[in-house]
Structure 1
Amino acid sequence: MEIFSSMPNNARTWIYAANRQLSSAEEHAIQAELTDFVQSWTAHERALKAEAAILYNQFVVIMVDEAHSEISGCGIDKSVQLIKTINNKYQLDFFNRLAVQTLTDNQVTTYNKKTLQEAINAGILTGQTIAFNPLVQHKSDFLSNWLQPLQQNWISKQIVFLVQA
């Protein structure tokens, strides 16, 4: 993954999933805001080594190399404030932690628990459907566990999968 190639495997990682796909213009503008932010991001007046990218036209991923400078609560607050600003400016919702995103044919679909169960019951989704795991905390987790079968996703304990014959 070239976009985070300068980040070590233990880089702290945050993933924000928008409630919808971004338009090309929105993605370009938001990426510019993210780039400006990470280039000037500090924690306790110390510069942070960070990268941010938009993936699948819907996810903002931010990574920080804490070996360079450790991030603090105030540093994290600055990034959350940026996402809130982007949220409001583009009428997005990056903070619905109950939403589940799946990937089919390179297309992201967002579900809530009810619509996810309905899609499973209808046979549209299975336990093997690829889902995004927003709970990863480090680059190594991101590379190995961000995309995972739905049956391994955090929501899997709250839904019922159809038994395949």
Structure 2
Amino acid sequence: MDLEFKHLLPEDFAPNSRVWVYQCSRQLGMSEALQLEPLLEEFIEQWQAHGASVKAYGNLFFGQFLVLVADETAGAAVSGCSTDSSVRFVKSLEARFNVNFFDRTMLAFYRKEKVERLPLGQLQYAFDNNFIDADTLFFNNVVLTKKGLEESWIIPVKNSWLAKRLRIVA
């Protein structure tokens, strides 16, 4: 599995463009991903904030991570109703594909050439039993900006917020 994704991000979006990463409860199949694509494109084209179009980008990465990006330097600031509309859109995808995009207690790691999910409650056990280690790549879905997505989304556990929780000394 190729983890390269940066070349897919729009170059003309500001580094401080806002980012939302929604991790799917399972990898979507190819037919599901192909069904999702036009729905995502339609949402991005119609996304508005205070009556103005949002300069937006969306993509499904690795069949599991729905990423929305909004460049607020283009004029429309995303807040309130526009944020609610994006959440409604993601909720509609959940219903359509029978998945969960809002379970923040499920973590994702890159192991053995694939994305593997692990409940937060099993993190210490997984670390203690070498399922993951300090160098295992972690999908840090709490990134907030395009720059953060590019630099801090897929990082070793030792460089993430998990390091403190696991008491990894850098």
Q: TM-score by structure 2 length?
A: 0.88
Q: Match of 1:156?
A: 163
Q: Which amino acid aligns with 1:3?
A: L
Shift of 1:72: 2.2
- The separation in 1 between residues aligned to 2:32 and 2:14, in whole angstroms, is 29
- The separation in 1 between residues aligned to 2:140 and 2:100, in whole angstroms, is 17
Q: Match of 1:2?
A: 7
Residue aligned with 1:118, SS: helix
Structure 2: gaps (5+ residues): 1-5
Q: Match of 2:32?
A: 26
Would you say 1:52 and 2:58 are equivalent positions?
yes
Shift of 1:33: 0.9
Which of 109, 117, 140 is equivalent to 1:133? 140
Q: Does the 8 Å CA contact 1:131/1:150 hold for their aligned counterparts?
A: yes
Please tell me the root mean square deviation across aligned C-alpha atoms, in Å: 1.7
Q: Does the 8 Å CA contact 1:117/1:160 hold for their aligned counterparts?
A: no
**CA distance change for structure 1 residues 88 and 155 in 2, over 3 Å: closer, same or farther?**
farther
- Count the aligned residue pairs: 162
Q: Percent identity?
A: 27
Shift of 1:2: 3.0
Residue aligned with 1:62, SS: strand
Which residues of 2 match residues 1-165 of structure 1 at below 5 A? 1-5=6-10, 6-68=12-74, 69-159=76-166
- The separation in 2 between residues aligned to 1:83 and 1:3, in whole angstroms, is 21
Structure 1: gaps (5+ residues): none
Shift of 1:14: 0.4
